[in-house]
Amino acid sequence: MTGIAAAPERAAPILWRTVDPTVSVGTRDGSYAGFVDHRGTRYIATDQVGAVVGVFDSESAAQASLEPEALERAIARRMRQDRRLAVIAATAAGVTALLAVVGMLTLLA
């Protein structure tokens, strides 16, 4: 007998509450989901663990960035950036070591 796979459940929407004229706090299913801080003309979105997700031109864009799909994309982007930085750091370390060896050989020659 073949079963039909159930569609994955969508996460409950984030409910936003203004706690200060410049701060909105979001909760999902009663749990803290993050907050949006309005500074000047920008809106800074911070997730449930305190990591800044991004800086946005509108409150709605900042709030949308804290939805699960958007957070997954942001995490994937951060991981790609971290891998690039690791490659750059390893390359710089290798070049530095090579230059040190060449310098030592030059001194010994």
Distance of CA 103 to the CA centre of its chain: 41
Using pLDDT thresholds of 50, 70 and 90, give the confidence band for residue 7. Answer: very low
Quick: pLDDT tens for 54-98: 999 999 999 999 988 877 777 777 788 878 888 899 999 988 988
Quick: pLDDT tens for 24-33: 999 999 999 9
DSSP secondary structure code for residue 6 in this structure: P
- State the virtual CA torsion across 54, 59, 63, 65 in degrees, nearest 10: -30
**Helices assigned H by DSSP within the chain:** 59-64, 68-108
Q: Which of 27, 51, 23 is nearest to 39 (CA)?
A: 23
Sequence spans of domains, the chain:
12-66, 68-109
Q: For residue 92, which amino acid is it?
A: A
